[in-house]
């Protein structure tokens, strides 16, 4: 079974152009499923044992995940991973998918993305320093990174994968599903990136643009760790994260009149429905303003 898993993951990477993050998540999900079956069936699972699974076995697997307090979103992804693996085996005529196709995906709560309030975000980006004990070049780095995330609506790993030699007024970004898009840098953001490059003690010319104190590529986990601390220091909302800059980019553009199709292209969304949620955020904000400012509310 291990060989089938490895070949399936390879197909996702090479033929279907899944991102590294998605493939790694699917690997974890299928191994979690395999470990569950080991205990559930009392034997090391094989393709032959997969053929004999009933709907009750899949329900037991979901109950096991729910008891571990895994999120609905995580459970939806895990089911997608297992279905994808079963479809791979079905293409090789090793089993059929009749039973697993009866498994319904869990309902996801209708959670709207949470942007950072525009004025608070602009004030934050103009701070003289983020941590008072940071070297000046680290402050320059963080300001350039946060400004880039907000300027272009990048995912954090898209930003951290940029090479210094790629920096220009336009940058080609390799997004999810290996899909390319072009993003434009506003003059202020390009100025901040250049200020960081000039101040950085490490040679950035042949490597990644954003590096840590040892000169190695900056990791997303460190960025979010620092942002968690900055929430308290600079009165940022609890949801402030690297991804919140992307949400803020899209929400603020729509609030200022950008059309949905353009925002879709800028975000690199495959489907317009993925971008549609930002109009829902705008509608929600409008209702909050209405409830706060209507004369009857004040009376």
Catalytic residue positions, numbered: 155, 176, 243, 246, 269, 278
**Spatial distance between the Cα atoms of 223 and 2, rounded to a whole number of angstroms:** 35
Q: State how far Cα 50 lies from the chain centre.
A: 32
- Are 240 and 227 within 8 A, CB to CB? yes
- Are 268 and 173 within 8 A, CB to CB? yes
The enclosing H or E element of 172 equals strand 170-174
- From residue 259, give the alpha-carbon distance in Å to each of 18, 249, 251, 286, 297: 28, 13, 11, 17, 32
- Residue 251, Cβ neighbours under 10 Å: how many? 27
Here the tokens at position 30 are 């299928």
**Spatial distance between the Cα atoms of 235 and 196, rounded to a whole number of angstroms:** 25
């Amino acid at each position: 079974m291990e060989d089938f898993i490895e070949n399936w993951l390879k197909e996702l990477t090479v033929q279907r152009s899944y991102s590294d993050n998605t493939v790694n998540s699917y690997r974890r999900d299928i191994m979690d499923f395999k470990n569950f079956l080991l205990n559930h069936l009392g034997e090391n699972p094989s393709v032959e044992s997969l053929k004999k699974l009933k709907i009750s076995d899949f329900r037991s697997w979901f109950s096991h995940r729910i008891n571990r307090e895994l999120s609905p979103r995580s459970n939806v992804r895990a089911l997608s991973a297992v279905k994808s693996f079963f479809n791979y085996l079905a293409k090789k005529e090793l089993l059929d998918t009749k039973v697993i196709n009866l498994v319904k995906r869990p309902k996801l709560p209708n959670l709207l993305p949470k942007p950072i309030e525009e004025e608070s975000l602009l004030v934050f980006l103009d701070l003289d320093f983020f941590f008072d004990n940071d070297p000046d070049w680290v402050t320059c780095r963080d300001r350039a990174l946060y400004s880039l995330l907000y300027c272009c609506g990048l995912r954090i790993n898209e930003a951290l994968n940029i090479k210094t030699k790629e920096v220009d007024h336009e940058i080609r970004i390799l997004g999810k599903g290996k899909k390319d898009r072009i993003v434009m840098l506003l003059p202020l953001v390009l100025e901040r990136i250049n200020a960081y490059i000039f101040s950085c003690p490490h040679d950035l010319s042949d490597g990644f643009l954003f590096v840590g104190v040892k000169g190695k590529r900056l990791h997303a986990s460190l960025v979010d760790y620092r942002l968690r601390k900055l929430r308290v220091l600079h009165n940022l909302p609890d949801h402030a994260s690297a991804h919140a800059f992307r949400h803020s980019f899209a929400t603020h553009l729509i609030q200022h009149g950008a059309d949905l199709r353009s925002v879709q292209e800028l975000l690199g969304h495959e489907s317009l429905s993925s971008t549609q949620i930002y109009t829902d955020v705008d509608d929600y904000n409008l209702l909050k303003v209405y409830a706060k400012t209507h004369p009857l509310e004040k009376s």
